[in-house]
Each structure stands twice: as structure tokens, then as C-alpha cells.
Homo-oligomer: A and B are copies of this chain.
Amino acid sequence: MAEIDKIDRKILSILQGDGRIANVELAERIGLSPTSVGERLKRLQRDGFVEGYGARLNPHRLGLGLLVFVEVLLDKTTPDVFERFAKAVQTAPEVLECHMVAGGFDYLVKARVANMTAYRRFLGETLLALPGVRETRTYAVMEEVKRDAPLPVG
């Protein structure tokens, strides 16, 4: 059920780079018939290797020019801080990722906003408004050296 061979990996790799490739062309590149590739892909989806497909949008083109990372420290004396913080983060559209980390702080938040003005608003009205947030450290991204690389499949 969780077996995955070299052909499967190749399918995943190609699909990760071009999620809209026609099954016919994918089959050509793999060296199998379209039907076989289709069956493999169906299995890969059923078994949870492929979670979905999405268009990759250009954030700058959409007016989201500023990428920031925020380290968040919570006040552990407040009850339910973690649950409440996690829930609030889900509903904030600016937050693209949020991870609980081991180390000097509690959460690492990745967010995209239009500019510094928008960020100040987001920080004040969303992040700092949450109860239990003790401290935040903001790191504004000056240059995106590597962005959303594909997972190493092969």
C-alpha cells in the first residue's frame, strides 16, 4: 500500500513541476501507456502521496510585495494559549505558514503583506491582539534567494 517505485517517483517529480501536464504527455515522458500512468497516479492520490494540485501565483504581481517571518513567544501562564494562537493563525489570510518550533521561541510565522504599513497593521491588529503573546521578533525578507523548491522525490 505504501510501496513506491522508481516510476512512481518520476511521475511525482514531473507532476510537481507541471501539475497540469496532459496524461498523454506524461505517459510519453515516462515510457508507459496513458492508462497505466493514469492508474498509478490514481493510486498515488488514493494513498496520500499527492494531496492536490494548485496554481503557483506570483505574489508580487498580486501586490503582496513584503514577505516577513515572525518569531512569536507565548506567555505560558495564560491558559489555552497554544490552542487559541493556533486557531487564530488559521483564519488570518496573511499567514501562509505557522510552525511550532523547539528552541528559543514558540512559533515561527511566515506572512505576506503588501508593504510595511500593512505589516504594522497586521502585527498590531492580529498578532499582538492575541492574548498570551508575550514577544515577537520580525524579520523582513530583503531577497528571496530560493522560493518554494520542489520536494526531493527522485
Chain A residues close to B by CB (< 8 Å): 2, 12, 15-20, 47-59, 61-62, 64, 67, 69, 86, 89-90, 93-105, 107-108, 112, 137-153
Contact = CB atoms under 8 A, between A and B. Distances in A.
Taking each of A64, A69, A89, which has the highest tally of chain B beta carbons within 10 Å of its own beta carbon? Answer: A69
Nearest to A86: B145
A59 B97 CA distance: 15
Contact of A69 (B89, B99, B148): B99
A57 B50 contact: yes
A35 B15 CA distance: 25
Contact of A51 (B16, B57, B143, B152): B57
Contacts of A53: 18-20, 53-56
A42 to B, nearest CB: 13
12 contacts: A20-B20, A49-B58, A50-B55, A69-B99, A69-B101, A89-B146, A93-B152, A96-B148, A96-B149, A99-B146, A103-B137, A105-B139
A106 to B, nearest CB: 10
A105 B137 CA distance: 12
Given A53-B54, A151-B57, A139 B96 contact: no
A74 B17 CA distance: 32
Contact of A12 (B19, B55, B143, B148): B55
A96 to B, nearest CB: 5
